[in-house]
Amino acid sequence: MRVRAKVTILLALLFAGLIAAQWVIQQRQMLPRFVELERDSAQTDMQRVVLAVGREQMALTAQVADWGNWHELWKFMAGRNPGFVQASLTDISFRTAKIDYMAVMSNDGRYLWSHGPYDASGHALSLRLNGNDQLEEGWKRALESGQPVSGLIATDRGVLVASSAPILDGFGHGPSRGLVIMGRLLNHSELLRLGNQAQVVLDMRPWGEDSAADALVQRASATKGDRLTETDTTTRIERVFTNVSGTPLLTLGINVPRTISHRGAEAVQYSTRLLGAAAIIALGALLVLLGRIVLSPLARVTDHAQRIAAADDLSARLNYDRRDELGTLARAFDDMVGRLARSRRELIDRSFESGAAENASGILHNLGNAMTPLSVNISGLQQKLAAVPADDLRLALEELRSGTPDAERRRDLEQFVQLAATELAHAVKQGAEKLNSIIEQTDVMQAVLAEQRRHQRNKPVRQMVTPAELVALGLQQIAPTHRDRLAVEMSPALAAVGPLSLPSTMLGMVIQNLAQNAAESAAMAGMGRARLRFDAERAKAADGGSMLRLVVSDDAAGIAPEQLPRLFQKGYSTKSQATNSGLGLHWCANTLHAIGGAISVHSDGAGCGARFEILIPLPADGAQIEERAA
């Protein structure tokens, strides 16, 4: 893909990301704020309803206090004004008070006078408080203590907003001789009046009429105070109102149109469309400017480089006369081509000597790797043989042959001979195992030398081997101390790949180098064990052929980003220069390139492990069949 297309896609993705980010912010920040504002407005409306009910109670409290502090009523309650009811407690006074209920009650709880609401024909109706005309506990305590009280009372004709005051002597003095109660029913007209005061449309549902809705409102009241529900068009808020004792009596609700959120959504949509149009205009302008200033000159430099690569003509020059960074790049490219031409001539002269020296270095490095486990095995065999009590066994046998007369001493000697013979047999068995390992290591060294001799004459010898067998061959060639530091994992894909025609000896040494490097990296990082994973698959090559992709990854110390470009250079090592020659990975890269393969490395940085990818070309299927038949 050309740079122009990449830049276009990148800028388009950038602007798309900005639009998406704005949309997310609008959806998750702005619109929820509009909804919160709408909910706060609904809560404010409900608070105004509560204040309207409170004002109604305060007005009744002032009115009933005026009636309770009436000297004539105080004398009536004392039995000294028997005509008070006929003279003062009349329908006219009741209508003048604009209330639906009034009662005069003595201190012992007896109703001395009461008056209910009027029906449509103007007749007074009876009204029973709490269904049995008895006061609830809060009102009884007010009656006993001579204190005023206000609140909601359940009646047989609905809920009553009521207030009471003690009956005093007209000068605010007691003792109280009873209680005056006044109230207004929460009927349709009263709800309309309260709604007008709160500037809302108010509705009411008696408690118990809808048990499911009551349960939801009560649950909301226990946590947040109000129950809030929303539809696409309205926000509904409901609140429970209780009597003085806390028993729910009714639920008042209001419906608020969702004007705020709808207008907020319209503003957000308009803003998104406007941003999208601005992004398209800005993208077009950026592409035009980038095309003229950067992309077209860069394409000219790229075409020149491709022509040089295709024709292999190092005498061609770009001669691009610009004073900006691209002009500097063009001049630097011309200089680089000139130096490359000179370097090619020098490289041809020195390639033969360098190749011979490098080949010898690689052989010595691989022989050194093979010698390490060989030395360990020989040392272990020496220690095991030195620990065998051969001299003690010889002395014990001589003493037994001399016929010692002490029977207990003879039993001890015979037991010692048996134990020594067992230990000697165990040592012989372990010595045989060590010798087998030594033989295997010497075979590896012979194979290295034989492979080098074949290198000098022919291409590397291939044989039918599975990738799993190839990995096992490479791991056998590292020292036991290094193997103990590795937790080897072979993926199912590796095991699923069948036999392939591969240069097994050469690839085994490559795997040996990578595994040994992983173990040493784990030791440098202070890790007890490092995970070493092998994966493999067959893949298509660029020329249409087939290749094996072998992936070796570990979770050891990792590689710093600045070290990755130099990792396969000759003499470069991430480990101590005093003990490492920096030839292992360099040899691996050269060996794989010699057979048409490749090796690459990836690491996310120090402490993140490393991942090596090896590409090995495979012969055509016909060649493999012939090799398998041979």
Is 341 contained in some domain?
Answer: yes
Integer Cα distance of 99 and 97 in angstroms: 6
Q: Strands of 127-247 (E only): list them.
A: 149-155, 158-166, 179-185, 202-206, 227-230, 234-242
Query: Which tokens is 170 given?
Result: 């007209």
> Is it the case that residue 425 has pLDDT exceeding 80?
no
> Is it the case that residue 9 has pLDDT exceeding 50?
yes
Cis before 148? omega within 30 = no
Residues 489 and 432 in one domain: no
**What is the pLDDT at residue 222?**
66
Is 501 contained in some domain?
Answer: yes
Residues 464 and 584 in one domain: yes
Residues 96 and 227 in one domain: yes
* Per-residue pLDDT tens digits for 284-302: 888 888 887 777 877 777 8
Q: Which of 249-258, 339-348, 446-455 has the highest mean pLDDT?
A: 249-258
What value does the mean pLDDT take over residues 135-156? Answer: 90
What value does the mean pLDDT take over residues 79-83? Answer: 84
Number of domains comprising the chain: 3
Is 286 contained in some domain?
Answer: no
pLDDT band for position 52 (50/70/90)?
Answer: very high
Amino acid at the residue 317? R
* Per-residue pLDDT tens digits for 601-626: 998 888 888 999 999 998 876 444 34
CB 549 within 8 A of CB 536: yes
Q: Which residues form the domain of 374?
A: 312-457
Residues 59 and 194 in one domain: yes
**Residue 195's domain is classified under what CATH number?**
3.30.450.20
> Is it the case that residue 261 has pLDDT exceeding 50?
yes
**What is the pLDDT at residue 453?**
57
The pairing of beta strand 486-490 with beta strand 530-540: parallel
Residues 547 and 603 in one domain: yes
pLDDT band for position 168 (50/70/90)?
Answer: very high
* Per-residue pLDDT tens digits for 326-362: 778 888 888 887 787 667 555 644 553 455 455 666 6
Residues 369 and 447 in one domain: yes
> Is it the case that residue 270 has pLDDT exceeding 60?
yes
Residues 176 and 138 in one domain: yes
Residues 207 and 166 in one domain: yes
Residues 423 and 542 in one domain: no
Residues 245 and 375 in one domain: no
**Residue 530's domain is classified under what CATH number?**
3.30.565.10
Residues 520 and 437 in one domain: no
> Is it the case that residue 275 has pLDDT exceeding 70?
yes
pLDDT band for position 258 (50/70/90)?
Answer: confident
Query: Which tokens is 486 given?
Result: 């590795």
Is 281 contained in some domain?
Answer: no
* Per-residue pLDDT tens digits for 537-595: 988 887 788 899 999 999 988 888 888 888 888 777 777 665 566 678 888 888 888 88
**What is the pLDDT at residue 368?**
67
Percent of the chain with pLDDT over 90: 18
> Is it the case that residue 191 has pLDDT exceeding 60?
yes
Domain boundary among 438, 457, 476: 457
* Per-residue pLDDT tens digits for 84-127: 888 888 888 888 888 999 999 999 889 999 899 988 888 888 88
Between CA 460 and CA 469, with CA 466 as vertex, the angle to 5 degrees is 90
Is 262 contained in some domain?
Answer: no
* Residue whose C-alpha is closest to residue 338's, from 374, 308, 294: 308
**What is the pLDDT at residue 219?**
79
What value does the mean pLDDT take over residues 190-200? Answer: 90
**What is the pLDDT at residue 626?**
40
**What is the pLDDT at residue 346?**
59
Domain boundary among 457, 475, 497: 457
Residues 216 and 362 in one domain: no
**What is the pLDDT at residue 370?**
65
Is 355 contained in some domain?
Answer: yes
Domain boundary among 437, 457, 477: 457
Is 44 contained in some domain?
Answer: yes
Is 282 contained in some domain?
Answer: no
Integer Cα distance of 140 and 154 in angstroms: 15
**What is the pLDDT at residue 312?**
62
Where b means 16+ CB within 10 Å and e means fewer, 596-630 reads ebebebebeeeeebbbbebbbebbeeeebeeeeee
* Per-residue pLDDT tens digits for 495-553: 888 888 888 888 888 998 899 888 888 888 888 888 999 999 988 887 788 899 999 99
